[in-house]
Chain A
Amino acid sequence: MSDLAATSGPSAPVTVLLVEDDEVIRKTVGMALERYGYAVTSAGDGLTGLELFRDGRHDLLLLDVMLPGLDGIGLCRRVRESSLVPILMMSARGDSLDVVSGLEAGADDYVAKPVDTAVLVARIRSLLRRATFSAAAEEPPKPGAGLIFGDLTIDTDGLEVFRDGEQVALAPTELRLLLEFAANPGIVLDRQTLLRNVWDYGWDGDSRVVDLCVQRLRKKIGAERIETVRGFGYKLRR
């Protein structure tokens, strides 16, 4: 990778909390990410990871699924109780159960081990972009601050979402997904398009990521708001 310093633009480095029980992976991934300019804090088990997460400020969590004590999925769920920080899961088992439970627990994306450092960094960047983008930077400009879909109001300037006047807390990926839908109201978006525009995947993305994020979003904004078009994808109901 040529753009080693790409992420070190702001003065404070991006901090990543890495929770991984395999010592070699913990060390090597930590070193590799540091080369890309990230500040890495690492833990060898879930409970230590949770403690570290509560003690400090982290921009992103990189979690292994299989961890001694509290596993990655449990840790993810505990973190989501109080925080919308981007979470990337790493799974070595690669069976769908792991992936699905990780995404259900609130992870934004997953990578299968073994993963190239370049790919890992690309996933991390994509996640961070979602977490830090501002309305001016990435959001398709819309006149007026509020988009209204039934009982749902999206403030595209303040990036806040209200349902029946009450604010809904959306994780970055969920917000990004909702904005993607809001930019194309009533239009069916297929999974590949969503993978490309929200997750920055090409053809190699796993469409379950989309399905599970849509599920989580539905729980927060009302199931009927996003309609499934079988065999194609999803659309936002006006």
Chain B
Amino acid sequence: MDADIVQAARGLLNPRSQRWKIVALVAMASCAVALAVGVLVHRSTFDRSMAIGRERAQNALGPVVDQYRQTGVADPLSVQDPDAMPPALLRQDLEQVGFWYDDRRPDIPWMWAAESVDGHVIAVQMEMGSELRSLQALDRHIVEASLAVLAVVVPLAALAAEPPNRRLRRVARTARRIADGDLDARIGTAGRARDEITDISSAVDSMAGALQERLLTEQRFTADVAHELRTPLMGLLTASELLPESEATDLVRDRVQVLRTLVENLLEISRLDAGAESADHAVVPLDQVVEESVRRAGLQARLTVTGDPVADTDPRRLDRIVANLVANAHRHGRPPVEVAVDGTTIVIRDHGPGFPGELLADGPQRFRTGAAERGHGHGLGLTIALGQARVIGAELTFRNAPDGGAVAVLRLRGRTRPEG
């Protein structure tokens, strides 16, 4: 529950989340539109006020020029001193009316109109401050309106990004559950319009279905093989027990036991390979379980126990692992075989030649028993021990002791006995 909240918060704050990318994109698009519209409006308003200013200036200039032509006297409100006029205005061809927008003082712009009458330049200037201020007000309104729209659109985008985001998170969660072994987990796309997310959802679902189908086929096959092999073996075993006691009978019984062990080991490996095994946990006294499996293996081993170890594990699988490791130590190593239980770690070592280099490098391989002098066996025991360790979530490692001898270390998942 708490973990869910933490994860949700982390997802919310993650700057790389799709949600924030979509929000950023929407915000950028909105800003671009606002900017483009703003610039266009600004320009056209500016152009219009220029046109109006020019018209006003021309209307003012006309009577002045007419009066000058008729009387030779210019209106005192007009400007006749070329030094007082903006140079850019004078550079124009003033045979016809020329205009100049004078914004050298940004807060008080002027519109100039000038005409040359017999070499004498007459100009008038109109104040454009009110136009400038209304243009500035317009710009401000556009920016304010854009910000207001962004303030609405960005949260809306974040909200709109949430449903697809949630669906994607569901896809990820389901895929993780499938990977963790829950093959019944499905995302489900019923009643949804086809989009990319339903596409990936149905792809994950069909992948899970195919995996499950394959696993079931494998399990069914393993179970069928088990049945086919065990049925005649059972007949053989029971029949061999009915034989009269003799040396030959002992030979037959011995081989039947070898065959039986081999069949069981192979079936166990194929069950482990099929991934069909799951641990059956119980809180057990570790020393007793280990002692019992050493005893039942019928092999000599020196057991040392430190403290009062208790573990939450699958005792039957643990028994398989310990029995296999002890049997392997006897078969391929040399006595004394030592089993040490310390906390949730079990160490099994012998005093033989140690594990072969390739086993240490690649881990146990089925039917590869290393050098011939390491004795006989099918090389399945360690593979099974490793597979079972994986099922109970324990770590099994192999190494050689510095003073000779193979050392197998089994670390169970640490868990102390809960109170109550």
Contact at B219–A113, with CB atoms within 8 Å? no
List A residues 168-189 near B (Cβ within 8 Å): none
Contact at B231–A92, with CB atoms within 8 Å? yes
Q: Does B42 count as interface, using CB distance less than 8 angstroms?
A: no
Contact at A93–B237, with CB atoms within 8 Å? no
Q: Does B242 count as interface, using CB distance less than 8 angstroms?
A: yes
Q: Which among A29, A98, A112, A208 is the interface contact of B238 at CB below 8 angstroms?
A: A29
Contact at B238–A202, with CB atoms within 8 Å? no
Q: Is the interface of B mostly helix, strand, loop or mixed?
A: helix
Contact at B230–A113, with CB atoms within 8 Å? yes
B72 shortest CB reach to chain A, Å: 117
Contact at B227–A25, with CB atoms within 8 Å? no
Which residues of A sit under 8 angstroms from B319, Cβ to Cβ?
A: 203-204
Which residues of A sit under 8 angstroms from B260, Cβ to Cβ?
A: 114
A191 with B233, Cβ < 8 A, contacts A25-B238, A32-B241 known: no
Which residue from chain B places its CB closest to the CB of A120 in the assembled complex?
B238
**Residues 91-118 of chain B: 1 if any A CB is under 8 Å from the residue's CB, otherwise 0?**
0000000000000000000000000000
Contact at A207–B282, with CB atoms within 8 Å? yes
Task: Determine the distance from Cα of A116 to Cα of B319 in the docked complex, in whole angstroms.
Answer: 20
Contact at B234–A113, with CB atoms within 8 Å? yes
Q: Does A122 count as interface, using CB distance less than 8 angstroms?
A: no
Which residues of B sit under 8 angstroms from A202, Cβ to Cβ?
A: 292
A134 shortest CB reach to chain B, Å: 32
Contact at A22–B282, with CB atoms within 8 Å? no
Task: Determine the distance from Cα of A70 to Cα of B284 in the docked complex, in whole angstroms.
Answer: 40
Q: Does A95 count as interface, using CB distance less than 8 angstroms?
A: yes
A93 with B242, Cβ < 8 A, contacts A114-B234, A204-B316, A231-B281 known: no
A194 shortest CB reach to chain B, Å: 12
Q: Does B239 count as interface, using CB distance less than 8 angstroms?
A: yes
Which residue from chain B places its CB closest to the CB of A65 in the assembled complex?
B227
Task: Determine the distance from Cα of A117 to Cα of B240 in the docked complex, in whole angstroms.
Answer: 10
Contact at B283–A22, with CB atoms within 8 Å? no
28 inter-chain pairs at a CB distance below 8 angstroms, sorted by A residue, are A22-B231, A24-B235, A24-B238, A25-B238, A28-B238, A28-B241, A32-B238, A32-B242, A66-B227, A92-B227, A92-B230, A93-B224, A93-B227, A94-B223, A94-B226, A94-B230, A95-B222, A112-B230, A114-B230, A114-B233, A114-B237, A117-B238, A117-B241, A204-B319, A231-B281, A231-B282, A231-B283, A232-B283
Nearest 7 A/B pairs, CB to CB: A24-B235, A28-B238, A114-B234, A92-B230, A113-B234, A92-B227, A93-B223
Residues on B lying within 8 angstroms of A by beta carbon are: 219, 222-224, 226-227, 230-239, 241-242, 260, 267, 276, 280-284, 289, 292-293, 296, 312, 315-316, 319, 418
